[in-house]
Chain A
């Protein structure tokens, strides 16, 4: 039995193919502007990698803010459902799932059976999402890949007053002008996002185990800032950005 999950995010498209519940192939690509064609191409590629022919596929489930673009899907689920399913299936001990993507963030509280009890969303504001890091990275001339590493080198506590990414960018530039070190500013930026996510986690109420997923889980500086703000550890899956696609694949619609 082959089940495919496709997560069309604001920045990247992720696809996971399962054979009898086990991941046999996966892939991701920048979403760009031709999301429809890009999704289809990635789907073909992921199947090809595992020598699966399209006829063998039993279900294709789409999720993500751009899921409409994957019009070849057989059904679709919300990001909250996909995130909870993916995380709790991988970690049955999960009681709280924190998903921080490029343009959205969500915190979900689950019960012992992986059922969703409550959730909070941010899809309106860059301040609690990867786009915030990206914008500040541009001002700091630090690549998104290096951002976490560089911020970890700092042990300073500089508060970032601005919440809005547009205002924060000016603040970052003035910090640079006043000769604040880049690593300290990078840490302040990660701290700021962590504090936003923590208040979202408080909204739903969190207890262990906490699973952190989404692209931001790869930013080590953010993870450090978040565990400090939450005052507890978080569990990060091996490929945190694939969990929604994985969860979607499990939700076959049958």
Chain B
């Protein structure tokens, strides 16, 4: 079945939506999404400890999405095109991120996520410190530190899927549970 981002997006629009967006991403837009999320989270009166973890995951997740999306596939016409939803389910939160990337990245992303998912809190801390203190730091945004940081702070395992799009592209879905 052909992947259609609108269908994917609709399927995730349930429970209590705190913040949602589908379209072109720019640094300014990311700032706006962060502002909106922050004031909405204040309204739902979640403990500040959880609010901070959500905000932190949003910052890292959105900046990762922006820096690592490909800009040249069918839907986006030269811009970063993707989607984000922040959903409240009971007392828990789910952050859903989706973006297009080259099919070649599937293996790398799978390995990276599986590695992070396999590590304990203490192992994540050691890995974080090792990468932080390493001079060979990715110019693009931190040598994968963002993914490690989210896992470390939320203490939850990533859920993820890949959907084939066309012409060597896939849609990458990443879900983060925060509670």
Question: Do A and B interact?
Answer: no
